[in-house]
Structure 1
Amino acid sequence: KRYPLRQVHTYHSIGIVKYQSVPDIPQIAQTRLNIDQLCLETAERIVATSPQEQQFLRELVSPLGKIDIIPCGTNIEKLGKISKTDAREKLGFNSEDKIVFYIGRFDSRKGIETLVRAMAESKFRHSPNLKLIIGGGSRSGCSDGLECDRIRKIVHELGLNDMTLFTGRILDEDLPLYYRAADVCVVPSHYEPFGLVAIESMASYTPVVASDVGGLKFTVIPEVTGLLCPPKNHLAFTEAIDRILSHPEWAKKLGEAGRKQVEAQFSWSGVALKLSELYTQLLSEPAQRLTIKQKF
Structure 2
Amino acid sequence: MPSRLRLPGTQRRPRRVAMLSVHTSPLHQPGTGDAGGMNVYIVELAKRLAAIDIEVEIFTRSTTGALEPAVELAPGVLVRHVDAGPYEGLAKEELPAQLCAFTHGVHQAWAGHRPGHYDLVHTHYWLSGHVGWLASQRWGVPLVHAMHTMAKVKNAALAAGDTPEPAARVIGETQVVRAADRLVANTSGEAAELMQHYEADPDKVAVVHPGVNLDVFRPDPGGIAAGRAAARARLGLPQDALIPLFAGRIQPLKAPDVLLRAVAVLLDQDPSLRTRLVVPVVGGPSGSGLARPEELQKLAARLGITDVVRFRPPVAQEQLADWYRAASVLVMPSYNESFGLVAVEAQASGTPVVAAAVGGLPVAVRDGVSGFLVEGHEPADYARALRRFADDPGLSGRMGAAAARHAGSFGWDTAAAATAEVYTSAMHERRRLRSLHG
Deviates more, 1:169-178 or 1:279-288: 279-288
Alignment: residue pair count: 284
Instruction: Extract unaligned runs of 5+ from structure 1.
Output: 290-296
Amino acid in structure 2 at the alignment position of 1:118: A
- The Cα of 1:148 is off from its aligned counterpart by 3.7
Which residue of the partner structure matches residue 223 of structure 1? Answer: 368
Where do 1:207-246 residues align within 5 Å?
Answer: 207-246=352-391
Q: Distance in 1 between matches of 2:276 and 2:292?
A: 27
1:274 and 2:418 aligned: yes
1:4 and 2:140 aligned: yes
Q: What SS does structure 1 have at the residue aligned with 2:394? A: helix
Give the 3 Å change call, closer, same or farther, for CA 138–42 of structure 1 in structure 2: closer
Cα RMSD, aligned residues only: 2.0
The match for 2:170 among 30, 33, 37 is 33
- The Cα of 1:174 is off from its aligned counterpart by 1.0
1:80 and 2:225 aligned: no
- The Cα of 1:284 is off from its aligned counterpart by 3.1
Q: Distance in 2 between matches of 1:125 and 1:220?
A: 30
- The Cα of 1:187 is off from its aligned counterpart by 0.5
State TM-score, norm by structure 2.
Answer: 0.61
Q: Distance in 1 between matches of 2:171 and 2:290?
A: 31
The match for 2:335 among 179, 183, 190 is 190
- The Cα of 1:279 is off from its aligned counterpart by 1.9
Greater relative contact order (CA < 8 Å, ≥ 6 in sequence): 1
Where do 1:102-181 residues align within 5 Å?
Answer: 102-122=246-266, 123=269, 125-127=271-273, 128-138=275-285, 143-181=288-326
- The Cα of 1:90 is off from its aligned counterpart by 0.4
Which residue of the partner structure matches residue 42 of structure 1? Answer: 179
- The Cα of 1:218 is off from its aligned counterpart by 1.4
Q: Distance in 2 between matches of 1:119 and 1:173?
A: 27
Deviates more, 1:13-22 or 1:156-165: 13-22
Which residue of the partner structure matches residue 293 of structure 1? Answer: none
- The Cα offsets for residues 195-236 of structure 1, whole Å up to 9 and x where unpaired, read as 111101110110000011111121111101111112321111
Amino acid in structure 2 at the alignment position of 1:25: P
Which has more radius of gyration?
A: 2
- The Cα of 1:241 is off from its aligned counterpart by 1.4
Instruction: Extract unaligned runs of 5+ from structure 2.
Output: 1-136, 221-226
Give the 3 Å change call, closer, same or farther, for CA 35–58 of structure 1 in structure 2: same
Give the 3 Å change call, closer, same or farther, for CA 267–209 of structure 1 in structure 2: same
Which residue of the partner structure matches residue 32 of structure 2? Answer: none
Q: What SS does structure 1 have at the residue aligned with 2:246? A: strand
Amino acid in structure 2 at the alignment position of 1:136: G
- The Cα of 1:76 is off from its aligned counterpart by 0.8
